[in-house]
Amino acid sequence: MRMAPKLFEEHKPKFLHTRTFNEIKHTQYVAVYEEYEKQINSSVTLTCIVESNPKQTKIILKKTGGRMGFRGSSLSEERSVDSMVNEFIFDFGKRYGLTVQEERISDAISDD
């Protein structure tokens, strides 16, 4: 339950929205990080959705923007916001003995 507030305190997002559901002890955070890469003249946005309840914390990261192709290659030596947020999540998990699991969502449509 403490991971999200600590993340947003250490790495301040450009936009942050919080919603708390007291009756089910559930909190949702939507944070938007944005960084401008001057060398390739593009901005990259990382949307971080955190859903917390007493049993688990689910984090969804979605990176958008930037350029594709040869010009979109990482030219800067600086760490991206995406890598900083991921590193924070794994470090926090190790420090407090949490199990971090990566959940892959398939793009394929199932025949149900």
- pLDDT, tens only, 48-95: 999 998 888 898 988 887 655 444 444 555 667 888 888 888 888 888
| pTM, rounded to two decimals | 0.71
What is the structure's pLDDT at 72?
45
For the chain, what is the total number of helices (H) and then of strands (E)? Answer: 2, 4
Q: Where are the alpha helices (DSSP H) in the chain?
A: 3-10, 81-95
Instruction: Please check whether residue 72 is in contact with residue 19, taking contact to mean a CB–CB distance below 8 angstroms.
Output: no
- pLDDT, tens only, 8-36: 999 899 999 999 988 888 999 999 998 87
Tokens in use for 74?
């990482």
